[in-house]
Amino acid sequence: MKFPQNKEHVLGIYLLWVVILVIELLWLLSSTKSPHGNDDLLIGFSVIVVTIAVGVVGINLAEKWRK
């Protein structure tokens, strides 16, 4: 796997990660308004938490590798 070579690549990856999180939050908001059970909300919340964790770890690894 090739890590980003400069700050612009890391910023691009970070912005893509933020866009994905916004889409997931909108998805979670739409599932709270529909008549689903708590299982659907738990799955949505879990997906968002995992995305945050993976994104933070990936960005930190890319920054440390670049130094």
Q: Is residue 11 part of a domain?
A: no
Q: Is residue 4 part of a domain?
A: no
User: What is the C-alpha separation between 56 and 23, in angstroms, rounded?
Assistant: 17
Query: What domain range is 36 assigned to?
Result: 25-67
List pLDDT tens digits, range 19-52: 888 888 888 777 777 676 777 777 778 888 888 8
User: What is the C-alpha separation between 35 and 50, in angstroms, rounded?
Assistant: 24
Cα distances (angstroms) measured from residue 51 to each of 13, 22, 36, 54, 67: 13, 11, 22, 5, 25
Residues 59-65 have a mean pLDDT of 75
**According to the model, what pLDDT value does residue 36 have?**
67
Q: Is residue 18 part of a domain?
A: no
**According to the model, what pLDDT value does residue 33 have?**
73
Q: Into how many domains does the chain fold?
A: 1
Q: Is residue 57 part of a domain?
A: yes
DSSP 16: H
